[in-house]
Amino acid sequence: MINWYKQHYLIINGLLLTTTILALYVMFGPIAAFALLLLPFAGYLAVRVSTAFVILFILFSYFRLHEAFVFLMPLKIPKLLALASIFGIFWHLFISKKLRPHWNQTHLVFVIWFVWLTVCVFAATNRGMAIEYWSGVLVKVFIMVFAISWWLTRFSHFSYVRIGIMISGISIALVALSNKMNGIGLVEGSRVTISRDIRSQLGDPNDLSLVLMFPVSFLAAELFDSNTHKFRRAFAAFGLILAISGVIATQSRGGLLGIAAILSFFLYQKVKNPLVVGICGAVAMMAMMVFAGISDRQSGGAEESGVDESAMGRIYAWHAAINMGVANPLTGVGINNFFVNYYFYSPHWDGKNHAVHSTWFQVLGETGFVGLFIFLLFIASIYRSLSRIYSINKVNYNKDVIINANALKAGLIGFMVSGTFLTQAFTWPLYIILALTIALEKLAVDSSKEK
């Protein structure tokens, strides 16, 4: 019997495959049958070009490219990329063993932070909302931080990441500017959004400014790096103008502050005079606010006397976050629970709940004073890792290290400054910076040993 099976192996397997395809065709239609035919090819690609799938997953998850270009939505690209990435990670981690895990001090602080977030999920006042956000976002972030920090083992990988972030940022900026010129999806009559009609994450002007601000540090790093090829520097300059223009179109003060901080960081590397840099940063900030037309905003514009409505709304929200932290000092009200708890903790009620519009107060309100301490420790650990990279590079200078380190440090500075007005504690930017920083430190150490 066994010999007979061996002799007719191909025929039997072919019949089984044909029967399976026909059954899928009858029960679920031609798409299911076609998907089965493509499955071996997809698995092969997931193994062979795993790094590309991981990078694309990050780009689609953070920039929401499928929501900006709505014709991509039926393809379910983020889910397909997630499956391909997980399959590639599993294969190379347990079968081929090409993915070699390594441990970093920043990994430890990140794990502590994730564990505390998980505790806050189960202590949340609305546990259903917290669990949904934890499983839908935070678990993906946790997996991808380790995947990215272990996977990027060459400077060429970092180059692909920078190019991907720059192109994605430029693409989103072009859509935003197109919407602004055509009056599509404007909030308060002047603030641009993208795909607001389908409830996209880009449908809020502040969230859109955050998405556009993140590539600014990578574009500026390419532009200010003297070792970059002239063509790439010209491309970076063009892209930087577009990204900044996109943020200006959102009229987000937090986004403009973040851009001013990033550009000041790169200017300081050239000038080395904090007073000159401070003056230039202040002038640039005022110029961007003028171009943005913030005085024309319906909320926070020049027509509002005293402390404007937008600012007062933030003050009330921050007060609510403090009350949440005081009432629940250990775990706060729980992840993704600030909005639904606003009524119970705000000193002012205008008939509707409000978002916190601050990373620091978001962490305080949703994870308590303990969570705020761990979060600050987490930020400090990323900064220390970047400092170690600079120290290593002083001994053994490598141009590939410095351009990536500058982009990441500028991104971290922009995050901390804009975090005063933008809610980004549990979104992708900080964790992408974290993963890339860990991978870059490992690569810097290894390259210095080779020398």
- Say if residue 79 is in the same domain as residue 175: no
Predicted confidence at residue 49, as pLDDT, reads 61
Task: Tell me, rounded to whole angstroms, the distance of Cα 55 from its chain centroid.
Answer: 12
Q: Which helix (H) or strand (E) holds 20?
A: helix 9-28
Q: Which helix (H) or strand (E) holds 410?
A: helix 399-418
- Assess whether pLDDT exceeds 90 at residue 285: no
Per-residue DSSP letter, 297: -
Positive or negative, the Cα torsion across 84, 198, 361, 335? Answer: negative
- Say if residue 90 is in the same domain as residue 122: no
pLDDT in tens, 56-77: 888 888 899 999 999 888 878 8
**Which residues make Cβ contacts (< 8 Å) with residue 19, sequence separation at least 6?**
none
pLDDT above 70 covers what percent of the chain? Answer: 82
- Say if residue 198 is in the same domain as residue 68: no
- Say if residue 208 is in the same domain as residue 191: yes
pLDDT in tens, 269-282: 887 767 766 777 67
Predicted confidence at residue 95, as pLDDT, reads 78
C-alpha–C-alpha distance, residues 451 and 448, integer Å: 5
**Which residues make Cβ contacts (< 8 Å) with residue 367, sequence separation at least 6?**
116, 117, 120, 331, 332, 335, 374, 375
- Mean pLDDT to the nearest integer, 227-245: 90
Between residues 130 and 312, which one has the greater pLDDT?
130
- Say if residue 206 is in the same domain as residue 336: yes
Tokens of 55: 């990078």
- Say if residue 171 is in the same domain as residue 312: yes
Angle of the 155-182 helix axis to the 205-224 helix axis, nearest 10 = 130
- Say if residue 66 is in the same domain as residue 159: no
- Say if residue 150 is in the same domain as residue 8: no
Between residues 301 and 100, which one has the greater pLDDT?
100
Predicted confidence at residue 2, as pLDDT, reads 45
Q: How confident is the model at residue 296 (pLDDT cuts 50, 70, 90)?
A: low
- Mean pLDDT to the nearest integer, 243-258: 89
- Mean pLDDT to the nearest integer, 250-260: 87
- Assess whether pLDDT exceeds 60 at residue 215: yes
Q: Which of 71-80, 205-214, 377-386 has the lowest mean pLDDT?
A: 71-80
pLDDT in tens, 155-174: 888 998 999 999 999 999 99
- Mean pLDDT to the nearest integer, 414-437: 90
C-alpha–C-alpha distance, residues 166 and 72, integer Å: 20
pLDDT in tens, 118-159: 999 999 999 999 999 999 889 989 988 998 898 888 888 899
Between residues 414 and 25, which one has the greater pLDDT?
414
- Assess whether pLDDT exceeds 60 at residue 1: no
Give me the numbers of helices (H) and strands (E) for the chain, helices first please.
19, 0
- Assess whether pLDDT exceeds 50 at residue 425: yes
**Mean predicted lDDT score pLDDT of the chain:** 82
**Under DSSP, is residue 69 helix (H, G, I), strand (E, B) or coil?**
coil
C-alpha–C-alpha distance, residues 133 and 250, integer Å: 26
- Split into its structural domains, the chain has a count of 3
- Assess whether pLDDT exceeds 60 at residue 20: no
- Assess whether pLDDT exceeds 80 at residue 179: yes
Predicted confidence at residue 4, as pLDDT, reads 44
- Say if residue 286 is in the same domain as residue 373: yes
- Say if residue 95 is in the same domain as residue 115: no
Q: How confident is the model at residue 310 (pLDDT cuts 50, 70, 90)?
A: low
- Say if residue 94 is in the same domain as residue 115: no
Q: Which of 111-125, 253-267, 275-289 has the lowest mean pLDDT?
A: 275-289
Predicted confidence at residue 277, as pLDDT, reads 67
Predicted confidence at residue 262, as pLDDT, reads 92
- Say if residue 75 is in the same domain as residue 214: no
Domain that holds residue 147: 109-450
CB burial of residue 395 (10 Å; 0-12, 13-18, 19+): exposed
pLDDT in tens, 329-384: 999 999 999 999 998 998 888 778 888 889 999 999 999 999 999 999 999 999 99
Tokens of 193: 């959004």
First to last CA, the chain: 61
Predicted confidence at residue 113, as pLDDT, reads 97
